Chain A
Amino acid sequence: QVQVVESGGGAVQPGGSLRLSCAASGFTFSSSAMHWVRQAPGKGLEWLAFISWDAKTIYYADSVKGRFTISRDNSKNTLYLQMNSLGVEETAVYYCAKDRPSSWCLEYWGQGTLVTVSS
Chain B
Amino acid sequence: QSDLTQPASVSGSPGQSITISCTGTTSDIGAYNHVSWYQQHPGKAPKLIIYEVINRPSGVSDRFFGSKSGYTASLAISGLQAEDEADYYCSSYTTSTTWVFGGGTKLTVL
The finding on whether chains A and B are genuine partners in a shared complex, rather than unrelated, reads yes
Q: Are A111 and B52 in contact (CB under 8 A)?
A: no
Nearest-neighbor residue (CB-CB) of A107 within chain B = B48
Q: Which residues of B contact A (CB under 8 A)?
A: 1, 3, 32, 34, 36, 38, 44-48, 51-52, 55, 57, 89, 91, 93, 97-104
- What 0/1 pattern do residues 53 to 89 of A give for CB contact below 8 A with B? 0000001111000000000000000000000000000
Nearest-neighbor residue (CB-CB) of A6 within chain B = B45
- Residue numbers in A under 8 Å from B57 (CB-CB): 100, 107
Q: Are A44 and B45 in contact (CB under 8 A)?
A: no
Count of chain A to chain B residue pairs whose CB atoms are closer than 8 Å in the complex: 70
Q: Which residues of A contact B (CB under 8 A)?
A: 35, 37, 44-47, 50, 59-62, 95, 100, 103-112
The residue that A106 contacts in the complex, of B36, B52, B102, with Cβ under 8 A, is B36
- Residue numbers in B under 8 Å from A37 (CB-CB): 46, 101
